[in-house]
Structure 1
Amino acid sequence: MPITLGRYSLDVQTTPDGRRDLELALGEQLNALLSAGRALSERSAAHFHPGLQPAAFHIARWLYAFGPATPSAVAEAVGMDRSSTSTLIGRMRSLGLLESTPAPGDRRSVIVGLTEKGRGRVAATLEERGREFHARTEDWSDDDLARLTELLARLTGSGRGSAGRR
């Protein structure tokens, strides 16, 4: 069965070499996916606020999804060190995108959350991302979307019962 993926044109066979070629083609497509994802994240961050580093959008997106939290919880959740997170949170507060309130039960700590302006910017940015994603998949069948979702869940191990499956 011949298939073409990127620069690979393969005649898929049930041989070790055919399997290796498929795995190389898969690796190339995963690299392309990661590159496209990074580029989309950069554009999304600029859409969110052109004066902020892209990591600020990750913080804002997390707060949009999960709600107010301590800066240390945000840093851990988005995989950033606390000092970088604190710097970005301060900058976002100065731009009116975040607000902070004293943490209940611990007046030395604060809880940060999105302001109405911040929520609006995140929502608009996610809407823009959605339009771009839709443009890339609008001619796909529901079956194609479902199958890709299933396969990606298996690949990432996020599908239920997928760990260790071959």
Structure 2
Amino acid sequence: MSSTPTPSPSDESPLFALERELRVLTRRAGSSANAMAKRIHPDLDASAYPLLAHIAANPGVRGSDLAQQFGVGRATISRQLARLESVGMVCREVDPDDSRGQIITLTEEGATLLRTTHERRVDSISQALSDWSPDDVAALAGLLHRYSEDVVRWQATR
């Protein structure tokens, strides 16, 4: 059994460096997402923040659309929504256009807690990047957006 040696930093390709930085970023983002969810409510996990943010941006979204957006099954999204509903963050109502579906909105409490958490997150990012120029921050945001869009496009072809 042979093992492939790990490239040294001097001969590391840009793609290896990118993979490493994405791995570190993903780990740190997961930790941050857990902390943010706990700020919203102590019984929530990391999946809560992006789900609440999507519902806030798309009030009246259908549960099935959330499942598709987040790449999970309907049963999974239903459990997540039940949890959010049980702690008063969202309201589920029967879809007037299709009684089999549900439309999801944030409660006033959910909207307030999400807004407060979002403001804290932006403030934390601002503090962490305080030495960065506005152009560097904008460049990073643009490159991350481009990367995300390209990954979605690539996944659609697989």
- Match of 2:92, SS state, is strand
Kindly indicate whether structure 1 or structure 2 has the higher relative contact order, using CA contacts under 8 Å at least 6 residues apart: 2
Structure 2 residue 37 is matched with structure 1 residue 45: yes
Give 2:155's aligned residue. none
1:22-52 deviations in Å (ceiling 9; x for gaps): 4433332222222222221111111121112
Once the two structures are superposed, the pairs formed by residues 1-166 of structure 1 within 5 Å of their partners are 8=9, 10=10, 17=11, 20-157=12-149
Post-superposition shift, 1:150?
Answer: 4.1
CA RMSD of aligned residues (A): 2.2
Structure 1 counterpart of 2:33, one-letter code = S
Would the aligned equivalents of 2:41 and 2:87 in 1 still touch at CA under 8 Å?
A: no
Distance of 1:41 and 1:110 partners within structure 2: 26
- Match of 2:47, SS state, is helix
Output the TM-score relative to the length of structure 2: 0.77
Would the aligned equivalents of 1:58 and 1:78 in 2 still touch at CA under 8 Å?
A: no
Larger radius of gyration: 1
Would the aligned equivalents of 1:40 and 1:129 in 2 still touch at CA under 8 Å?
A: no
Would the aligned equivalents of 1:62 and 1:78 in 2 still touch at CA under 8 Å?
A: no
Would the aligned equivalents of 2:30 and 2:46 in 1 still touch at CA under 8 Å?
A: no
Structure 2 counterpart of 1:74, one-letter code = L
Give the direction of change, closer, same or farther, for the CA distance of 1:135–1:87 in structure 2 (3 Å limit): same
Q: Percent identity?
A: 28
Post-superposition shift, 1:104?
Answer: 1.8
- In the alignment of these two chains, the number of paired residues is 143
